[in-house]
Amino acid sequence: MKFPRQGLYAITQPENKTITQVVKDVEAALRGGATVIQYRDKDPLDAPQLANLLLDVCHAYDAPLLINDSVELALTVGADGVHLGRDDGEIAAARRLLGADAIIGVSCYNDVKKAQAMAAAGADYVAFGRFFPSGSKPLAAAAEIISLQRAKQSINVPIVAIGGILPENGGQLLAAGADLLAVIGGVFDHEPESAARAYQALFNHQRE
């Protein structure tokens, strides 16, 4: 499955939820227009079981499922790809294990040079952030919106922005060069279908 060129990239919020609730919430986000889902779970009870269920629901909506942090889990469940941060291993190793068609995304924080190097090394997207204070990751370091502009001028793979993104503040990130908006709280702190739908106008606007 291909990584989308634009859209809402919803990231799971499994804390204090049952597996059934996480799957329901993700399906609601997909109904609301999310184009890609990341399974992010820092305290998993049964990660393979939940990831398998998420994979089925994502594929029913033609959306890829990426696994945060773990190439091993992505391989175990046959997920569409993986998201790697600075502590999560190298692209080359992930590519060797997951294959040429896997989607591999990398965190670049506020570092445009790193993003250029990661794209050259085969990343399928590069992610910058956090742009706004994030309740989901309060200690994430701040990134500057101008980094999106610089990245857009020199990088051909999709650019993802993350961190405290709401329908009210996402437009400026898209205007600066982001292609996808990665969101946890803005979707899953609310009823996920209508929350996801609220981002859609930002992307429709981009196409006009």
Ligand X SMILES: Cc1ncsc1CCOP(=O)(O)O
Ligand Y SMILES: Cc1ncc(COP(=O)(O)OP(=O)(O)O)c(N)n1
Identify what 135 binds: ligand Y, Mg ion, ligand X, none; CB under 5 to 8 Å per kind: ligand X
DSSP string, the chain: -PPPSSEEEEE---TT--HHHHHHHHHHHHHTT--EEEE--SS-SSHHHHHHHHHHHHHHTT--EEEES-HHHHHHHT-SEEEE-TTS--HHHHHHHH-TTSEEEEEEET-HHHHHHHHHTT-SEEEEE--S--SSSTTPPP--HHHHHHHHHH--S-EEEESS--TTTHHHHHHHT-SEEEESHHHHTS-HHHHHHHHHHHHHHHH-
Site membership for ligand X, residue 165 (CB under 6 A): yes
> Does 40 participate in catalysis according to the annotation?
yes
What's the Cα-to-Cα distance from 20 to each of 53, 111, 179, 191, rounded to whole Å? 9, 38, 31, 15
Site membership for ligand X, residue 136 (CB under 6 A): yes
d(CA 22, CA 46): 12
- By CB under 6 A, the residues from 17 to 56 that bind ligand X are none
Nearer to ligand Y, 69 or 193 (CB): 69
- By CB under 6 A, the residues from 6 to 45 that bind ligand Y are 9, 38, 40
Identify what 185 binds: ligand Y, Mg ion, ligand X, none; CB under 5 to 8 Å per kind: ligand X
Find the shortest distance in angstroms from Cβ 4 to ligand Y. Answer: 13
Identify what 111 binds: Mg ion, ligand X, ligand Y, none; CB under 5 to 8 Å per kind: none
Strand partners, 38: 11, 66
With CB under 6 A as the contact rule, the residue among 32, 105, 186, 192 that binds ligand X is: 186
> Does 147 participate in catalysis according to the annotation?
no
Identify what 24 binds: Mg ion, ligand X, ligand Y, none; CB under 5 to 8 Å per kind: none
With CB under 5 A as the contact rule, the residue among 88, 169, 200, 206 that binds Mg ion is: 88
Has 70 been labeled as part of a binding site?
no
> Does 152 participate in catalysis according to the annotation?
no
Nearer to Mg ion, 83 or 197 (CB): 83
Question: Under the rule (CB under 6 A), what is the footprint of ligand Y?
Answer: 9, 38, 40, 68-69, 83, 85, 88, 105, 107, 127, 137, 160, 162, 182
Bind-site residues for Mg(2+): 69, 88
